[in-house]
Amino acid sequence: MEAVVVPEGLAAMPPGPALAAALGAIELDRVPHDRMLEVLAAQHRQLNHEQARMVATLAEVGRCETIPAPGLVARLSRPGRYAAEETRAALYWTRNAADSEHDFAESVVHAMPVVFAAWWSGDLDRPRVRVFDRYLTGLAPELIARICAVAVPVAPRRTTGQLARGRYRSRGEFLDPPLPDPTATPTEPEEQHDRIRYDDGAILRRPPPEPTQERAPPPPTDPFEPPPF
């Protein structure tokens, strides 16, 4: 089978209409073996961009006026009450899916602009963005900005598990967990039920139970003493 010509500079092409057109013209079953990973990376970058655009569209739907005049561009300062219901009706989603996606879009687009910009440019994918949304939602805007300024540039080279196990300090410093010493002898065995493992690889250790205070034994009673009633 004759190999197809892969456009030069595909690896450096930013996501958008030009990259979509270039990828659409490639016959995948005729791509040379040595160029297949380059095509895969470009397709992944374009997919990230399209998913970010979908989330941006949901965020705009969430802030549209409920009953605007035809042809009028009107936006609310906060998400509308029935925006998720409109999306649910338009896309035949479940209520939970519509509510979840609208909350996710509002959080990433408006509360984490640095994360969204990296997603839009194709550097981050949806699973990594989900990690940021999970651990940063609800924090103060200043803290989110400090953490994102340090964590987002390195996020494309980290797995979701590495991001989830990262350590965030109040000044916005991103630290990796130290690697365990394979030669160290554990002082006490670890109980599996003391740990919670999430799907993204994060492990949360339950705090040790608080010591309970033993009650003093009741004073001895005379078996021949009549009951107090």
For the chain, what are the domain ranges? Answer: 55-66+73-175
For all residues of the chain together, what is the average pLDDT? 82
The whole-model pTM stands at 0.72
Q: What is the pLDDT averaged over residues 97-108?
A: 96
Q: In what helix (H) or strand (E) does residue 228 lie, and over which residues does it extend?
A: none
The string of pLDDT tens digits covering residues 130-177 is 999 999 999 999 999 999 999 999 999 999 998 988 755 444 455 444
Q: Within the chain, how many helices (H) and strands (E) appear?
A: 8, 4
The string of pLDDT tens digits covering residues 182-220 is 444 544 444 444 444 444 454 455 555 666 666 666 666
Residue 179 in 3-state DSSP? coil
How many C-beta atoms lie closer than 10 Å to residue 32's C-beta? Answer: 12
Tell me how far apart the alpha carbons of residues 77 and 216 are, in angstroms, rounded to a whole number: 61
Tell me how far apart the alpha carbons of residues 136 and 109 are, in angstroms, rounded to a whole number: 13
| pLDDT value at 68 more than 60 | yes
Pairing of strands 167-168, 174-175: antiparallel
Query: Which residues, listed in sequence order, are joined to residue 205 by a DSSP beta bridge?
Result: 195
Going by pLDDT thresholds of 50, 70 and 90, the confidence category of residue 225 is: low
Q: What is the pLDDT averaged over residues 63-88?
A: 86
